[in-house]
Amino acid sequence: MTADLSEKLGREMTGDPARATDEQPETSTDTLPPPAKLPLRYRNRFVEFFYRLFTERPLGAVGAIICVLLLLTGIFADFIAPHGYNAISPLDRLKPPSAEHWFGTDHLGRDVFSRVVYGAQLSVIVAFAATTLSIIISVIIGLFSGYLGGRTDMTTQRVVDGWMCFPDLIILIVAVSVLGPGTWQVILILGLLFGISGSRIVRGAVLTAKENVYVHAARSIGASTGWILWRHILPNVMPPIIVLYTTRLAAVILAESGLSFLGLGIPPPAPSWGGMLSIDGRSYMFLAPWLAIMPGLALAIAVFGINMFGDALRDILDPRMRGGTGRYIARVRKPGGQTT
Amino acid sequence: MSTNHNDVLLDVQDLKVHFKLHGGLFGQKQTGTVKAVDGVSFQVRRGETLGLVGESGCGKSTTGLGVLRMVEPTAGKVTLDGIDITALNSAALRKARRRMQMVYQDPFGALDPRMRVLDIIGEPLLIHKMFKDKKDYKAQVHDLLERVGLNPNMADRYPHQFSGGQRQRIGIARALAARPELIICDEPVSALDVSIQAQVINLLEDIQEEFGLTYLFIAHDLAVVRHICDRIMVMYLGHVVEVTDRDALYENPQHPYTQALMSAIPIPDPEEEAKRGFDRSLQGEVPSPLNPPSGCPFHPRCRFAHDACKTQKPRLMETDTGHQVACHLYDPAASDINAGDVMEDNLVRAG
């Protein structure tokens, strides 16, 4: 029975041209058109990911390139920057962009290009550290609060409510005045701030995910709570977490700039983009607009790139969207009856 | 019942699952109790299929969940092959769950969309560490896929790439993976097309024979139940009303509720349908389990209800060999009307 059944089922599968490409050759050769250009099934996942990023999400690919450039700039800042970020040259004050100083110089004669490059380093460090910290906090709070429910959930959520009652800026100012300005202080504060508010998003996703029959099924198989959280809940709440990560990444860069702009972030002369916008950019805005434009542009491009990449990442990592977002989405029904 | 205790695999004694309803601002007040399952006892013998039928909301699914302790029973005792399931702590319970698996109604929701079929079917193996190495693991999963009539090459796919019937096969393969003795099938075919239903039913029968499985088969489709079950238990509002062999139930339903159920099976012949005589179909709604009727839970809808039915709960008692009914009509101690009335009706129906 099983033999002819599988044959029957094999034929059933070939009725769908988008799925037929990876079908057993003996059933797909006779009537079907030649396979469409789809990534090979057993191709390396990593290769497949980039293949799909570039073919299906070109804007995401641009974002990815920007992210990579940002990272490389941060890592190799010492080699890229032609001058030290703090090398003062009083004779070259407020020079417009030129061959020697690509982005011009500031009021102390420091090379703006070098400072923007070093600023990337600082932004990368702060952004990734603070965002990672915040996501870890969000996921831990969200998973346990959402999955365990009941009293745990009730208590946790009231604490989160209380925390979210305070305006972010007030918390930041208080925390900075207690801890003092500095890089790790900014990381800690931003991580905590974004982590706690982000836990709501994770919890919401967990609440939906845990009601799925497959979670019930895993329990009936004999899975422990930890197993279910790790193998079923976490993977299924990844899309919102990835989006959260990328939007937070951009938001942290902005927040750090904002803090530095207010003088609460990373103290000068460290080359923070926000600090450059504030101290130098604002004072000399009309005299030397490049002082504000260059770090501002760097900030905008970085945030744009991260957001685009994050969007593409979420779409590609979702296995239900395999084979292209536009191509077979109409035919794929998500469990629970929603259609994508 | 003449049951040899050695071949009873699952023994459920007086299982009760009550859900407490809470009200008030902080949920501190108990406003009511839903008696989803209220004192259900039955045995499932090794290798047999016990059908569990009844209308929606009668507690048949909850009974299945209570047996697995997916829903914590309020009272009662569940014994699987001599192990008291209700007395286990959570770690021991997780281990015991290997021996009783579940097949779900919804083939779309029961498989994790982010896992490959390989990992879905292999999950019980991973949890209970039932494989030697990675190769053995893959071989076991491929073997399971073949057993349920799927191509082992499909192991690397995701659930959304399969049809409903195929997903149900994957669900069955997962249940088989842990090499269980008991499989609780919670309406395994009611979400499938009729043509696929037959395939899945046949598959269930095949693997039962092959692995010597025991099924607790929860369903509302009486035709399916008649096909696959050896014995059938009819539930109404959290109570067992009748338990008997398949043929006895279909040919000689004794409880008025069972008779009503049987008369609801459509006959694909209008002349036969007309010959069936009077309409036995039930009037009214199932009473709310939040506020169940006194005495026999069926009495407000029963044509034979008399005074005793309103006050006394009927006990489940044997009328023929292996045929148990919970109805005052058959209880010589409690009945003041003649069971012959009901018998007569049966004759009318049969003739």
ipTM entry: 0.80
Q: Kindly give the interhelix angle for A238-261 and A183-210, rounded to the nearest 10 degrees.
A: 150
Question: Poorest-confidence range of A3-7, A195-199, A228-232?
Answer: A3-7
- According to DSSP, residue B17 is labeled E
Percent of chain A's residues with pLDDT above 90: 11
Q: How far apart are CA B178 and CA B103, in angstroms?
A: 13
3-state helix, strand, coil in chain A (%, to 5): 70, 0, 30
Residue B143: CB partners within 8 Å, gap ≥ 6? B152
Answer yes or no: is pLDDT of A138 > 90: yes
Distances (CA, A) of A82 to A66, A87, A135, A269, B102: 21, 10, 36, 18, 67
- Identify all chain A residues contacting B174, using CB atoms and an 8 Å cutoff: 217, 221
Q: How far apart are CA B169 and CA B147, in angstroms?
A: 9
| Residue A291 near residue A42, CB atoms below 8 Å | no
Residue of A nearest to B99 (CA): A221
Region B274-299: mean pLDDT is 74
- pTM higher than 0.80 for the full model? no
Percent of chain B's residues with pLDDT above 90: 11
H/E stretch holding A306:
helix A290-317
Instruction: Check if B210 contacts A (Cβ < 8 Å).
Output: no
| Residue B183 near residue B97, CB atoms below 8 Å | no
Q: State pLDDT tens for residues B307-320.
A: 778 888 888 888 87
List the Cα angle A53/A251/A120 in 5-degree steps: 75
- Identify all chain A residues contacting B114, using CB atoms and an 8 Å cutoff: 235-236, 238, 319
Nearest residue to A203 (alpha-carbon basis) of A154, A247, A252, A255: A154
- According to DSSP, residue B286 is labeled P
- According to DSSP, residue B74 is labeled S
| Residue B228 near residue B183, CB atoms below 8 Å | no
Please report which confidence band the pLDDT of residue A139 belongs to, taking 50, 70 and 90 as the band edges.
very high
Distances (CA, A) of A107 to A274, A299, A314, B51, B310: 16, 21, 44, 87, 97
Instruction: Check if B277 contacts A (Cβ < 8 Å).
Output: no
Output the six-digit token pair for B237. 């509002």
Instruction: Check if B108 contacts A (Cβ < 8 Å).
Output: yes
Indicate left, alpha or beta for A127 from its phi (over 0: left) and psi (-120 to 50: alpha).
alpha
Indicate left, alpha or beta for B349 from its phi (over 0: left) and psi (-120 to 50: alpha).
alpha
Q: How far apart are CA A81 and CA A84, in angstroms?
A: 7
Q: State pLDDT tens for residues A53-108.
A: 788 788 888 988 998 988 888 888 788 777 777 777 777 777 777 777 777 777 77
Cβ distance B156 to A42 less than 8 Å, yes or no, reads: yes
- Identify all chain A residues contacting B161, using CB atoms and an 8 Å cutoff: 19
How far does chain A reach from its first CA to its final CA, in angstroms?
Answer: 37
Q: State pLDDT tens for residues B132-142.
A: 888 899 899 99
Q: Which of A12, A16, A214, A334 to mutate to test the interface with B (most CBs of B within 10 A)?
A: A214
Q: Which of B20, B95, B128, B160 to mutate to test the interface with A (most CBs of A within 10 A)?
A: B160
Residue of B nearest to A223 (CA): B127
Place of tokens 């945030």: A303
How far does chain B reach from its first CA to its final CA, in angstroms?
Answer: 30
Q: State pLDDT tens for residues A263-307.
A: 777 777 778 887 787 777 777 777 777 888 888 888 889 888 988
Answer yes or no: is pLDDT of B6 > 60: no
Whole-number pLDDT of residue A321: 58
Answer yes or no: is pLDDT of B2 > 70: no
| Residue B146 near residue B152, CB atoms below 8 Å | yes
Please report which confidence band the pLDDT of residue B217 belongs to, taking 50, 70 and 90 as the band edges.
very high
Distances (CA, A) of B243 to B45, B300, B331: 14, 22, 15
Answer yes or no: is pLDDT of A29 > 60: no
Distances (CA, A) of B212 to B32, B49, B121: 43, 11, 20
Buried b / exposed e along A236-251 (16+ C-beta atoms within 10 A) = bbbbbbbbbbbbbbbb
Q: How far apart are CA A88 and CA A118, in angstroms?
A: 15
Q: In this structure, which topology does domain A47-331 adopt according to CATH?
A: MetI-like fold (1.10.3720)
Q: Provide the Cα torsion B170, B173, B174, B179; round to 10°.
A: 180
Question: Poorest-confidence range of A65-74, A234-243, A320-329, B164-173?
Answer: A320-329
Question: Poorest-confidence range of A235-239, A282-286, B197-201, B347-351?
Answer: B347-351
Answer yes or no: is pLDDT of A38 > 70: no
Residue A29 CA to its chain's centroid (Å): 43
For A62-111, the DSSP string reads: HHHHHHHHHHHHHHTHHHH-SS-TT---GGGTTPPS-SSSTT-B-TT--B
For residue A212, the distance in angstroms to the closest alpha carbon of chain B comes to: 6
> Widest CA span of chain B, in angstroms?
69
- According to DSSP, residue B313 is labeled P
The one-letter amino acid code at A30 reads D
Q: Which of A9, A26, A44 to mutate to test the interface with B (most CBs of B within 10 A)?
A: A9
H/E stretch holding B245:
strand B239-245
Residue extents of the structural domains in chain A: 47-331
Distances (CA, A) of A269 to A262, B209, B274: 14, 79, 97
Alpha helices (H) in B133-252, listed in sequence order: 134-147, 164-177, 194-211, 222-228, 246-251
| Residue B118 near residue B155, CB atoms below 8 Å | yes
Whole-number pLDDT of residue A81: 75
Distances (CA, A) of A265 to A125, A254, A281, B229: 14, 11, 16, 72
Higher pLDDT, B185 or A272: B185
List the Cα angle B185/B187/B192 in 5-degree steps: 120
What is the rounded average pLDDT for all residues in chain A?
Answer: 76
Closest by Cβ to B111, choosing from A9, A214, A222: A214
Nearest residue to B329 (alpha-carbon basis) of B233, B244, B234, B242: B242
Q: Kindly give the interhelix angle for A58-75 and A45-56, rounded to the nearest 10 degrees.
A: 120
Q: How far apart are CA B294 and CA B330, in angstroms?
A: 19
